[in-house]
Amino acid sequence: MTTLVARGVAWIGLYLAVAAIPLVSAVLGHPGPGRGFLTEFAVALGFVGLSMMGMQFALVARFQTAAEPFGEDALVQFHREISYVALVFILAHPILLQVAGIDIVGLLVLVQAPWRARFAVGSTVLLLMLIATSIWRRRMKIRYEVWQVLHGAISVLVVGFAVAHVFLVGYYVDHAWKKWLWAIMACALIFLLLWVRVIRPLELFVGLGRSSQSSTNVVML
């Protein structure tokens, strides 16, 4: 029991550390002047919210070593609940920037807006769609298999668009190592999702096919 508790604490610490890495990397080596507490706080919420959304890919992977201290049901529940927290952080990001005096509303005119704003709006809209289809999947009469595919595809777009927004803004990723860090983290987390939703099911399907073929050959012999 003590070992499981220690492992659980270690996994929680790892989750918090990974969630904070983008924020810490943004601050390190940034020589620019401060832009006011509210603006910097809004940016911090955006970074943490994005990191938490990326970490959702790791949660759905349900690695046995990570699930054992908590149980898979608890991980699934945490995956759902933390999505709402990340959504609050992400929505607070533009709202607080608007309050701080940055014209976010004007950037919503996507025809005239720069691509950094388009990617930000696209990521936020897709995130709202992601959560809405998860909550009301049965009311929308979306089959579970179809929802799984949509959930994975939209999740990748949410994170991809958000990372593109960060790169195009460029204020806190002004060094090559920061861009590489963001790119590596995004690719690693997306790979986790692909592993769970695509690669692993295909391996199991192929394995079952081979097993069935072997059984058939034995019967024929």
Note the pLDDT tens digit of each residue in 124-155.
999 999 999 989 999 999 888 888 888 888 88
- Amino acid, res. 59: L
Res. 218: pLDDT tops 50: no
Cα(71)–Cα(54) distance, integer angstroms: 21
Classified by CATH at the fold level, domain 2-203 comes out as Four Helix Bundle (Hemerythrin (Met), subunit A) (1.20.120)
Cα(91)–Cα(20) distance, integer angstroms: 18
The pLDDT assigned to 108 comes to: 86
Q: What percent of the chain has pLDDT over 70?
A: 81
Q: Tell if the pTM clears 0.85, that is, is over it.
A: no
Q: How many CB atoms lie within 10 A of CB 158?
A: 24
Domain boundaries, the chain: 2-203
Lowest mean pLDDT among 76-80, 103-107, 153-157, 215-219: 215-219
* pLDDT top residue among 30 and 176: 176
> CB pairs under 8 A, 24+ apart, for 32-38?
32/171, 32/174, 36/100, 38/96, 38/99, 38/100
